[in-house]
Amino acid sequence: MSFNWCFIGTGAIAKKVAKELVTNPGHQIVSVFNRTKKKAEKFAKKYNSTVYESALDAIIDPRVDGVYIATTNETHFSFCKLCLENHKPVLCEKPITGNARELEQLIQLSKENNTMLKEAMWTWYNPVAHKVKQWIQEDRIGKIQFVDCIFNMPIFGYNKAKGRYINPSRYGGALLDLGVYPVRYVYELFGKPKSIQSTGKLYNGIDLYNDSIFDYGDFKANVSSQINALVGEHCYIVGEKGKIKVPLFHMTSKAVLKTREGKEVFKDKKKKFARQFRVVAEIFKGEKPNELVSLESSLDVMEIMDEIRKQIGVVFPCD
């Protein structure tokens, strides 16, 4: 399959993605835009791409089949809007927007222009995540009793001086950078909770940590993220007949199922970014059903995160 990508943003995540993306046969990066042109030129040289002076020019390059947005959180809405207005399918890094209202506007624009919009959430293009969901649907661990899903990383310590992570005008804080992963993981497994109770600690108007209890009626899920703690990441799902452990769940290559019958380990070590882009390209070209990471699910997740921010007092300009 042949697919030509435009990259908006050439930072750390774009570099990681590009390295895997080009391992997909027929996939190439043909156009590039970055706020700092020198960085774009260095990136483009590696992938034999064309550097453009503006995002619009990069997007409307006639060779472009789809656009990947890898810029900072506060810019996602405007770049997605630019793509949709120019009828270019777009895959945008998480979080897709700053709040649910922004995403609702993009969804409407996507429908009006008959142009696809997708959120880049590589976790849910990962066969390991699908296997975990399958185990639950097959009732392998019985009635769910408790879920613990956390993602902690000391971003605050080594990026404190850089500003973005502690700046509300740039949609900083733990929830949007890290918390979107556990929120989405629990949502994809169990849907929207009946109620949410959240606490957190603020610094400069953003959340250093957030801790939420999702109440599903029959069980509760602890969902939390921190940018001022030692690294810690897992999802534990405890049921009456067994439990599932997913270490490093957002990027994991392994899930472990333990029941009375014994232990089962599922592994998948294939390139996860590459698979995400391969599947999305097939969706954009109409070769695969538009099933994974639907806009409706992205909107549900944004609504959940809006509620968490409301309860802990984090406000962004888009609010």
Compute the average pLDDT of residues 146-167: 82
- Contact call for residues 68 and 5 (beta carbons, < 8 A): yes
Fold held by 124-270+289-312: Dihydrodipicolinate Reductase; domain 2 (3.30.360)
Residue 154 confidence class, pLDDT cut points 50, 70, 90: confident
pLDDT higher than threshold 70 for residue 158? no
* pLDDT, tens digit, 9 for 90 and up, residues 170-186: 999 999 999 999 999 99
Residue 160 confidence class, pLDDT cut points 50, 70, 90: low
pLDDT higher than threshold 80 for residue 129? yes
- Start-end ranges of CATH 3.40.50.720 in the chain? 3-121
pTM of structure: 0.96
Q: How many other C-beta atoms are found inside a 10 Å radius of the C-beta of residue 210?
A: 28
- Start-end ranges of CATH 3.30.360.10 in the chain? 124-270+289-312
What is the percent of the chain where pLDDT is above 90?
92
* pLDDT, tens digit, 9 for 90 and up, residues 32-89: 999 999 999 999 999 999 999 999 999 999 999 999 999 999 999 999 999 999 999 9
Fold held by 3-121: Rossmann fold (3.40.50)
Residue type, 62: P
Residue type, 144: I
Instruction: Determine the Cα–Cα distance for residues 95 and 8; give it in Å rounded to an integer.
Output: 15
- C-alpha distances in Å from residue 284, one per residue of 7, 71, 289: 16, 21, 9
